[in-house]
Structure 1
Amino acid sequence: MSSTLPHNEDYLLFTRIKRGDDLVEVGSLRATSDELAKLYAKQIYDEEDWVEMQVVKKSNLLPVILPEPLFEKEGVK
């Protein structure tokens, strides 16, 4: 019998401290599901009385401009 561990995804957390403020990225986390990501975000980043918290899978971000690598390795970009 083969047991497969759930795959962790990277998530980014965006929050707003009060209405009208910009939504800003305040951290990141890893979770095996969207529901766990929401739970982890609320537990880990509870130091403020946020009016809004949003998590998004890092893989769902659409790059527009990416920085050039600082160091190049052979075969790696």
Structure 2
Amino acid sequence: MSVEIKFIGREEPFKYEDGEGNEYRYRVEDSGALSVFEKESGKYVKTDALPIAVYGPAAWFSVTGSALGKSDRGPGRVAGF
């Protein structure tokens, strides 16, 4: 899935997508910043993964695509195993 961002002052949206099977997820931070994460095909986004891009709240107008969710983080760890 791609992430499409419409920036303030630009006519055309910008898309994060590639032909290699990677997927992209976004998260809107409490500050209003927009973080974009890369998810390799069939894998998860690590809990401590850094975003590949961060845009301040004054830079972007809207975003569409898949938000970063719990299912993107993978199964939880079980203590003792």
Higher-Rg member (1/2): 1
Does the pair score TM above 0.5? no
- Report the structure, 1 or 2, having the larger strand content: 2
Q: TM-score, normalised by structure 2?
A: 0.25
- Report the structure, 1 or 2, having the larger helix content: 1
